[in-house]
Structure 1
Amino acid sequence: MPAHAPGSVRSVTEQNFTERVLQAERPVLIQFWAAWCRPCRLVTPIVESLAADRAGEVDVVRADLDDQPGLAARHDVNAVPAFVVYAGGRPVGSWTGAAPQHVLDQYLTAALRDAGVDR
């Protein structure tokens, strides 16, 4: 498997979820999105910027709601964009809705802090 650039956002599927999320060395932020979702399209560059800013600290992945309905159901996602934070192989926080980067960063920091993961 080719290496990915630090700070890049990779796709996550049912097939690679264990490897990319549950077995990840770092905490993982999952963005659930859909191509037809305008707020998802607006927040995607913000998530990519957040991934670059947190490179080496947090892995960021995205799951397409339409292509990965099992992952969405597993995480009780019924609106997008939705976000789930994993640390140590378990979900430690989640939220729904597009927001500016500083707000997404605050949500991520709070989820990690609540899980005992220091920034």
Structure 2
Amino acid sequence: IVPNSDLISGQLVNWTHSDARRRLELVVGTSYGASPERVLGILMKVVRTQPGVMSDPPADVLCIAFGESSIDFAIRAWTAGYLDAIQIKSRLALRVYEALEKEGIEIPFPQRDFHLRTVYPEAAEALRNPPE
């Protein structure tokens, strides 16, 4: 934490100003039926072959969470220029989708089950005998 008085009265050096590299992070969730090790391999293959992604520093592919509907992975990679970063991330996301689809790995969406504890008699009757 830097006090405001130090920012106002002191000198501030922006270390990122001269470095055009940018780190991308893309989070993707896969179904619980998919092998996490297999998913890690697929994602790493995609990121290593993606134009615009730097090989040094190397990309990371990590299993980051067990979500409600998916096992979540993060791809963290570097690009040489910040101006192209959003386009590279977009193309990377599309390649990830294509690779997972090709391998038969589902990207799930949230699903909910509702359990009704109290049902009004009129609603129960309407469910038993729906109007035609």
TM-score by length of 1: 0.29
With normalisation by structure 2, the TM-score equals 0.27
